[in-house]
Amino acid sequence: MLTAKQHELLIFIHDRLAETGVSPSFEEMKDALDLKSKSGVHRLISALEERNFIRRLPNRARALEVVRMPETATPKPAKTPKPANTNVPAPVAANENVLEIPLHGRIAAGVPIEALEGQSSLSVPAALLGPGEHYALEVAGDSMVEAGILDGDYALIRSAQTARDGDIVVALIAGAEATLKYFRREGTMIRLDPANRAYDPQRYAPDQVQVQGKLAGLLRRY
């Protein structure tokens, strides 16, 4: 019995060999399975080898051979991100509406990082989005973990230029760095609060902070 990741990797290797005759690199396998490091690929390869699904060809770099396939193995469709918590509706069925929204790089839930914009998109069940214009950002960092926002999550953002105290916002700092934090006013300053006691609040003059959106939901890959 293979785990979901073992099965996914086996299918990926099999399909790549069928297409090109060359087994994929560990970096390609890591990216295809959304793993954080190549050590996870090594563990999956070893498990498949122990179960006699693949074997390494001696004296050849990147040489893997698929020995056998699971009886029920068929190529899997692309994964649909799962809701990050029980307050988000379950993934919709294939015949329900799915929207493509822009995926604009990574945003820091920690020390601010450079704001990135890309041309990618993310498929999102329409039921998760309310009115307004939305985009997605991949979360990097752990400063919002106590709000249930984890590294690698996809933050669904409703475009907005204003916020109320307590809103979780995308804040662009000094026109160059973006971060995901609780928004609060403190006297004449803007305070951006983390949801992790290991981090300190960040304080900025109002002209240094531009609200670019408010958190509308989360998606998480498993």
Q: Are 144 and 196 in contact (CB under 8 A)?
A: yes
* Paired residues of 98 in beta bridges: 125
Crossing angle of the two packed helices 4-20 and 38-50, in degrees rounded to 10: 90
Residues in the chain: 222
Active site residue 36: no
Residues 6+ apart with CB under 8 A from 174: 208
Catalytic residue selected from 5, 38, 46, 181 = 181
Tokens of 165: 């105290």
Catalytic residue selected from 23, 30, 143, 214 = 143
Could you give the dihedral angle defined by the CA atoms of residues 24, 27, 28 and 31, in that order, rounded to the nearest 10 degrees?
150
Cα–Cα distance for residue pair 123/102, rounded to 1 Å: 9
Active site residue 181: yes
Q: Are 133 and 159 in contact (CB under 8 A)?
A: yes
Alpha helices in the chain (DSSP H): 4-20, 26-32, 38-50
Only one residue has tokens 């090109």, namely 20
Query: Residues with catalytic annotation?
Result: 143, 181
